[in-house]
Amino acid sequence: MRFNEDPPRTVQPDATADTTTEDTAVADTAGDAAPTMCDRSGGYAVVDKAMTDLIPKLKADCRIDRFFVTMPDPALAHMRECMALQLASIMRCSKDGVRVKYPALDSKGAQCRDMLNAHKTVGVHALDFDAMIDDMLAALGEQKTISAADLAAVADVLRFQRQDIVNPGDAGRGDACASEASAPVDTGEEY
């Protein structure tokens, strides 16, 4: 997937590309001298904080809370860190002086999985996916350092991963949160 140089950046999918984050990272085509999206947004720490802020949002969002309420704290911590690494790769961040690439290892040495393998047994449906993207973009936007054009570019890359994450079938709960309690999902796997 490639992006235009001029904001707002728009997605131009490459039909031969797979959907690993390395291939879908936002390209900063002006060369090494130009700041990356990550640099413009405040660096890896901003991405990491946004994903830390995301976890309570996920647990509170009745559209998708069932995926997260039963997840053990170590699994949530791994998921949070992997999501930060994935976004850092998309935004072309460096961490500890090294450009972040995804999939990667978390700080405990556990492998972060690609989106297809991470979600193949979870049963994520279209409206679930949309809710997750909504929450991720809200968490990023609340950092107040990411421009609207850069946020839109990140959204395009995340939405491109739909084909690897969404399980065909029913649409999911979406906004049908009314008074019913969410039934937790136990996938039997760690993120």
pLDDT in tens, 52-83: 999 999 999 999 999 999 999 999 999 999 99
Question: Which of 11-15, 22-26, 97-101 ranks highest by mean pLDDT?
Answer: 97-101
- Residue that wins the pLDDT comparison between 169 and 166: 166
Was domain 36-165 assigned CATH 1.40.20.10? no
97 by Cβ neighbours in 10 Å (0-12 / 13-18 / 19+) ranks as: exposed
DSSP helix/strand/coil, 128: helix
Contact between 11 and 160 (Cβ < 8 Å): yes
How large is the average pLDDT for residues 94-100?
Answer: 92
- Residue that wins the pLDDT comparison between 120 and 42: 42
Question: What tens digit of pLDDT does each residue of 120-165 get?
Answer: 778 888 899 999 999 999 999 999 999 999 999 999 999 998 888 8
For residues 166 and 161, give the distance between their C-alpha atoms in angstroms, rounded to a whole number: 9
For residues 189 and 77, give the distance between their C-alpha atoms in angstroms, rounded to a whole number: 14
